[in-house]
Structure 1
């Protein structure tokens, strides 16, 4: 990589003078694991983290509970794969398979030397004989066709079998704590490595109290104490839930008492702290009655620094406010905010399906301007969520949400420009139709705002640029997804490329990710803001994965990104050059290609000099931070210039107590020639004389990629170990990572190909391993879209393959789900009657009679997949007189099912219900519900 040849000079450490500790008071850890939440542009929210191939999360951890054993990700719960986390720790995974030693009843030290030598010789001979017989007796067809070799250290090898259950997982036995680490973004992009000190913040325990500390990767001696994570205001103590730190280290925004609304949004108190004086004051709208009248506090939707740290912007009661940093009074920008009009803040469906954020405002990089969206929900229909558990209220309380369903009215949007230099607010004529969808926004230069809109069905994408200087709005590119039989997915953020006169580049340009002419998502460089046809930077039968472009190195014109070029289920870091992208040497993989199953994630500093590197699989997860060139291959790191952020000593010690299931990454060619990827998880010590039950785990949402080479020790691994079963995790056609020829199978036919692929893979797996599979104990399960896929599979299978099914928060009819997500794939019901009502709706309820047992779980306050789905399903089963099902309803839980201890109970329920199934307790199909 070109950056490896740079000689790095002193990194302007004088910009960060040492500061005396502030006199604010804080104590106790910020999170149980020492991590802190940071939900701004300059820091990343670590309140929850995902694994099992799910997208990044923004869920809020309850930091008031000293131990939170089981955290789930609200951000990946569409009708989509539920992801979850244990013990508030990211990436609690392992795929190593170790053998264990049984302990002796008699103490070894009490034996004589002759006894010891004799026993050792006999024990060794017996062990070798047993291992030889196991190798000879296991039929070769039971071995994986494509297996990731299990790395067994001779020093750790054991003989014996020791299992773990869901209780070990829920109790955090496999947690891997991490040190807090967040880059602090500079007020502008750093164009030189020499200007980048790798400034970050972390937490530190001082005298038993947690403090925020600013440090550098360049100068290890640099450390500034920013104060404790608790403070007092008007005699009341507050604990910080989120933090944003200015690059000059003179101001901090705190969030406290955050109450989650939906996937990304919340309300809470926000504060500004002056680090020079230690003075803390609440951020508040001017001349308004306080929500907390006694203390004069206001619950805000959010409060953030602008990119160059000149302003604080926040939303209160759906109106936008701006306040200069250092000033004490905010200015109200909008006046029309209400329950139906939302300014600079998305409504439910835009938060969930489009923007994936609690904000709808985009700042020019120099703070001179901002564009915000206003969403009008006046004509959008409502759903009502009832709350049952408030012991103070004798009546059921109600929450109303504007929730458009397929074919019904969508919200309208408008864009407004705030020109802070001239003090003018003006409307931008977006040029969209009434049912247009706003997909993305980005300032490419200080005067050019780029955004994307589509038609209602997300099939035609128009890329538009508003030029502030000329007041012109131009459509610079149009993409018709019908040409590749696809749809417009949620787009990834584009990256602005600044002018570079020494390279004869005089204009701002940008890098985008979109489909090439072969149907794969790749990088395209647009040399100017108004360029129509981009220069393709990457190509091949693979795709850009992860968060898109991770960084840009100005000095060498190098672009960094992650992709699955080496393996469709893995992810590595790559670079390419803008200088001459047509050369074959422009594309470089920055990790060892021979490690084809490695799964990496990266976060880069502003100049791309430093990086956080996370190796998430297939072996023990590890996270480090340091110079990019030194953190590319984590297994080879052995120098002091790299920070070790994971503390896995206890995890590795704990692994010695168990035989960890063996994980292999495989593929299978179906009868029609389509290749399906799947993961097989099986017990560490296979008994060749035993028949094993099977649990099939599915998600299958269109364009998703749920099952990767990320390692995991979670629910499925507990089933394999504790219930002595085999788990298959199957990625049916329609899912992502393999180009549009594979993804487009889902178009207009949700639930058609997924069950067919799942049934065929399961049947063929059973046939190939028939002597070792108990065909009377085959189960399937999924959450959200996975629940829908599980039920559709049962409906089609009609008892031929599957005997048991578990569905959590399932969709059963797509007319009940939200409009933007559903119509993206299905179009409107009036345009696709067959798809909605003949293909994608679960309607053959009679087929569920063929199951030995069905288990259904849902939360009553699920704002995403409404409990209406489950109640309609159960009603149809009742009408047919079917009693072979169990149902567990969680009062007031949302789609993540975690309210009032539910997050632990839901997985206990699933585990022990499955245990009863595999133990034969449900063999009587007419058995009454428990």
Structure 2
């Protein structure tokens, strides 16, 4: 172990010089003193939380098993803009320079070429002409025997494929993956108040003697390095491999997770271990030795195990009961005793994990480890769904599993809150003051003695923010939000920021910063100066929103809050700051990144003091990730390498893409006939031929409050279709989606599936009309996954074959009474309260309209715990009753909503790609009445 001899003194001032092009109100330099797990596996995943597929944990578990993924498995993508205003009428001036990689173009005017270039190409053209003449002489006598002809003016799928095109196979093979080095900040036991005290402690991995080792390092001192050991270890003669790791700030104890079996989106079960770094001893975490007796190697699978924030305790859940042990003890204390298949302690049931908490935990710790509050969910009255399992070859009979799953209008789980007071070792019941059938939303300790939580009515329309004061045992409602006032709903809320006392600024108590809608219907930052404050001070305002993860950091010395927002453009995301230190400047927006880079999309993670940051540029250029002092990782085009750690390894990627002409992406908007402006992305094949007509594929998600299509970069499914099949892609963000305020979002209220198809059809028709000479209107398709699958089917139902000729729907909702209650009722209320919305608008009803399609393709996994396959089976049954045969269906045994089981995800995208190729090649024309 080597340690630094440096003190953490100030090296560079935090200086963010205002760019000349900035539109900030600041006219002086911006000065600072220097001082977790579930992957959204829906292929239509997006940045916003409010999707049907979707508080920082007190001690985050870091997954260390995920290797490089093909891009489409991770997030929604788009490519860099070529020219914002490019349309087909610009085609002669198009050029092939792609700003993603600055590939040089040969589309220069002849007059600009040098004399040697002219001579070289003149000689080349002469040779080509001679070769063509030779081939004509040879081929003229040959009879043409093919019975398939293609009109010269059309562009069949595959015709754009040449040696510089790529296909779905390139994507699936990982040709465009960009590996990233492991980097995770190690959280201190208490928030660091000065830059001087923050060394930027983090861990990474290193290969040593053929094994992966975990290494603790500092951003302050590049020579500091502590080897925490390897990722494999022996226990009772058996080798185990680490899947997740947690490291305490003193670097003397670790928690390992091994053999993790996924349950749902965020949850899993596995073996957990502690490692004492002073002795190297590794011990399993078990409820008791007696409980583990009789199990293989004395091990039991836990739902999770974590350090408390100050690292004084380890807490874990086994069989839905909560256990606690002192940090230096091998023995645990069982805090609850009623855990069962119906009772969940400190762990959410299915619907709370999926729709509200987005976590495998339901416990919240005071920052000093003195107390904790956990939720108990009672699902006794919640109905089960049953998932059959088909691929277990060891059993002759079907096995199955049951999940407690609340549907619209049926019983929801009930919740209770319990306080663990570690100072007197007493467990208390907390009176939530909520009505029956309410929903627990965000929760957070504002101070060591004050616990804040939010509850809503069943329909998520009225939110009450409450604070429980431990010393007085009082519960106060500090704020009420009526979403009916802006015709909206209560969404999953973002984590709030605790603001500590600061006596030197005469701030004697705790406060917090929350994110919620302002009077104009845009989500902004509000500062609540005291724990019980009823009114917040608005820190940001404008016709834009705080986006992404919201608040990403806080600097105590200047009381500056860092956050991400789409102030520059609704499809992009940048880092901003605002300070509440000086009352005269409250509300001033600090523009930290260059506002002229309007297409950039950034994510940030800051260290505890705000001194250091992980910066991820996700688009429109190739993704890039670095870590270093915040001031030096804002502009990744001009990174100072002296103190910055490069985390992306993209050399192979950059070499690979030299072999391809990449699709050209433009970010656009269109004003519809009723004045609503819709954003969309256009992805075109490189080197468009003005003499050809091109097919169209519309890609849609469209879930309420979601934001699927941004300026994030991508080389994934849609790009492979554009390149390999010669297809133009439109990705449309209809009204009801997020990022543009509640006046845009609230269109979805009460009528899912009404406005989305209308917007999609109008945008597509306008695009077709504007580019009519260059589009094959008989080859227009639409596709989506999950909510996108639902919208695809609703669009076909409304369109009735006028615009769309083909459709692909993966894991679609077809009837909202079959989906979960909290998500659906958030937008639709209960079926008894909105019968027309459920059955007249949002359900697929006009099955006869699918006869107008040339072909339909539906896919679903049988173990989809999210959108049950019941949706697809009911839909297909109705097609069968009408005698329709113009559809194909592919079922994936035992796959969940992500469709990954037994190599399934690769097959999904291969099927989509080659089915689409066959469709655009005309193989499905005039087949709808043929007998299969």
Normalising to structure 2: TM-score of the pair?
A: 0.87
CA offsets 1:393-437 (integer angstroms, 9 cap, x no match): 111101100001000000000000000000100000101111100
Q: 1:759 to 1:305 in 2, by over 3 A?
A: same
The Cα shift of 1:217 comes to 0.1
Structure 2 counterpart of 1:54: 47
Alpha-carbon distance in 1 for matches of 2:573, 2:126: 43
Alpha-carbon distance in 1 for matches of 2:77, 2:799: 24
CA offsets 1:637-663 (integer angstroms, 9 cap, x no match): 133110110011111111110000000
Q: 1:354 to 1:70 in 2, by over 3 A?
A: same
CA offsets 1:898-922 (integer angstroms, 9 cap, x no match): 0000010000000000000010000
CA contact (8 A) 1:99 1:160 kept: no
Structure 2 counterpart of 1:859: 861
CA contact (8 A) 1:52 1:710 kept: no
Structure 1 counterpart of 2:386: 384
CA contact (8 A) 2:178 2:650 kept: yes
Alpha-carbon distance in 1 for matches of 2:42, 2:614: 15
Structure 2 counterpart of 1:786: 788
Structure 2 counterpart of 1:248: 250
CA contact (8 A) 2:615 2:634 kept: yes
The Cα shift of 1:586 comes to 2.4
Q: 1:596 to 1:538 in 2, by over 3 A?
A: same
Matched, 1:557 2:559: yes
CA contact (8 A) 2:685 2:722 kept: yes
Q: 1:49 to 1:852 in 2, by over 3 A?
A: closer
2:205 is matched with which residue: 203, 206, 210? 203
Structure 2 counterpart of 1:164: 166
CA contact (8 A) 1:405 1:819 kept: yes
Q: 1:292 to 1:625 in 2, by over 3 A?
A: farther
2:601 is matched with which residue: 574, 577, 599? 599
Structure 2 counterpart of 1:401: 403
The Cα shift of 1:769 comes to 0.4
Structure 2 counterpart of 1:133: none
Alpha-carbon distance in 2 for matches of 1:242, 1:160: 43
Matched, 1:119 2:130: no
Q: Secondary structure at the match of 1:857?
A: strand
CA offsets 1:592-632 (integer angstroms, 9 cap, x no match): 10000000000000000000000000011100000001101
CA contact (8 A) 2:326 2:332 kept: yes
CA contact (8 A) 2:45 2:708 kept: yes
Alpha-carbon distance in 1 for matches of 2:804, 2:796: 7
Residues 112-191 of structure 1 aligned to structure 2 (within 5 Å) = 118-120=119-121, 122=123, 162-191=164-193
The Cα shift of 1:636 comes to 1.0
Structure 2 counterpart of 1:443: 445
CA offsets 1:2-22 (integer angstroms, 9 cap, x no match): 83355656xxxxxxxxxxxxx
Alpha-carbon distance in 1 for matches of 2:892, 2:543: 44
Structure 2 counterpart of 1:481: 483
CA contact (8 A) 1:291 1:299 kept: no
Alpha-carbon distance in 2 for matches of 1:840, 1:49: 21
CA contact (8 A) 2:62 2:246 kept: no
CA offsets 1:62-102 (integer angstroms, 9 cap, x no match): 988999768846xx9xxxx899xxxxxxxxx9944746899
Q: 1:123 to 1:51 in 2, by over 3 A?
A: farther
CA offsets 1:673-710 (integer angstroms, 9 cap, x no match): 00000000001111000100000000000000000000
Structure 2 counterpart of 1:17: none
Q: 1:367 to 1:796 in 2, by over 3 A?
A: same
Structure 1 counterpart of 2:870: 868
The Cα shift of 1:290 comes to 2.6
Please list every run of 5 or more consecutive structure 1 residues that lacks an aligned counterpart in the other structure: 10-38, 84-92, 103-113, 128-158
CA offsets 1:293-325 (integer angstroms, 9 cap, x no match): 230001000000000000000000000000011
Alpha-carbon distance in 2 for matches of 1:289, 1:673: 66
Alpha-carbon distance in 2 for matches of 1:902, 1:561: 38
Cα RMSD after superposing both structures: 2.7
1:515 is matched with which residue: 510, 517, 526? 517
Alpha-carbon distance in 1 for matches of 2:537, 2:931: 62
Structure 1 counterpart of 2:142: none
Q: Secondary structure at the match of 2:386?
A: strand
The Cα shift of 1:548 comes to 1.0
CA contact (8 A) 1:406 1:829 kept: yes
Matched, 1:419 2:430: no
2:14 is matched with which residue: 3, 6, 15? 3
Structure 1 counterpart of 2:94: none
Matched, 1:339 2:341: yes
Q: 1:929 to 1:520 in 2, by over 3 A?
A: farther
Q: 1:45 to 1:810 in 2, by over 3 A?
A: closer
Residues 766-845 of structure 1 aligned to structure 2 (within 5 Å) = 766-845=768-847
Structure 2 counterpart of 1:296: 298
Name segments (4+ residues, structure 1) moved above 2 Å. 1-9, 44-73, 93-102, 114-127, 287-292, 580-586, 925-930
Taking CA–CA contacts closer than 8 Å with sequence separation of 6 or more, which of the two structures ends up with the larger relative contact order? Answer: 2
Matched, 1:458 2:460: yes
Alpha-carbon distance in 1 for matches of 2:439, 2:13: 41
Structure 1 counterpart of 2:704: 702
Structure 2 counterpart of 1:192: 194
Farther off after superposition, 635-644 or 364-373: 635-644
The Cα shift of 1:170 comes to 0.2
Q: Secondary structure at the match of 1:530?
A: coil
Q: Secondary structure at the match of 1:586?
A: coil
Alpha-carbon distance in 2 for matches of 1:122, 1:291: 83
Alpha-carbon distance in 2 for matches of 1:60, 1:324: 19
1:904 is matched with which residue: 899, 903, 906? 906
The Cα shift of 1:729 comes to 0.1
Farther off after superposition, 373-382 or 919-928: 919-928
CA offsets 1:8-45 (integer angstroms, 9 cap, x no match): 56xxxxxxxxxxxxxxxxxxxxxxxxxxxxx5xxxx77
1:504 is matched with which residue: 490, 496, 506? 506
Q: 1:861 to 1:94 in 2, by over 3 A?
A: farther
Alpha-carbon distance in 2 for matches of 1:241, 1:611: 25
2:916 is matched with which residue: 886, 905, 914? 914
Q: Secondary structure at the match of 1:878?
A: helix
The Cα shift of 1:271 comes to 0.1
Structure 1 counterpart of 2:282: 280
Q: 1:708 to 1:446 in 2, by over 3 A?
A: same
Please list every run of 5 or more consecutive structure 2 residues that lacks an aligned counterpart in the other structure: 1-11, 16-30, 55-59, 79-97, 108-114, 129-160
Q: 1:70 to 1:683 in 2, by over 3 A?
A: closer
The Cα shift of 1:52 comes to 6.9
Q: 1:49 to 1:312 in 2, by over 3 A?
A: farther
Q: 1:55 to 1:648 in 2, by over 3 A?
A: farther
CA offsets 1:309-363 (integer angstroms, 9 cap, x no match): 0000000000000001110100000000000000000000000000000000000
Alpha-carbon distance in 1 for matches of 2:683, 2:383: 45
Alpha-carbon distance in 2 for matches of 1:566, 1:685: 31
Alpha-carbon distance in 1 for matches of 2:805, 2:458: 41
Q: Secondary structure at the match of 1:289?
A: helix
CA contact (8 A) 1:320 1:332 kept: yes
Q: Secondary structure at the match of 2:570?
A: coil
CA offsets 1:520-568 (integer angstroms, 9 cap, x no match): 0000000000000000000000000011111110000100000000000
Alpha-carbon distance in 1 for matches of 2:65, 2:423: 43
Matched, 1:587 2:589: yes
Normalising to structure 1: TM-score of the pair?
A: 0.87
Alpha-carbon distance in 1 for matches of 2:285, 2:559: 41
CA contact (8 A) 2:366 2:447 kept: yes
CA offsets 1:835-889 (integer angstroms, 9 cap, x no match): 0000000000000000000000000000000000000010000000000000000
Q: 1:929 to 1:897 in 2, by over 3 A?
A: farther
Aligned length: 840
Alpha-carbon distance in 2 for matches of 1:483, 1:64: 46
Structure 1 counterpart of 2:85: none
Structure 1 counterpart of 2:326: 324
Structure 2 counterpart of 1:633: 635
Alpha-carbon distance in 2 for matches of 1:465, 1:94: 51
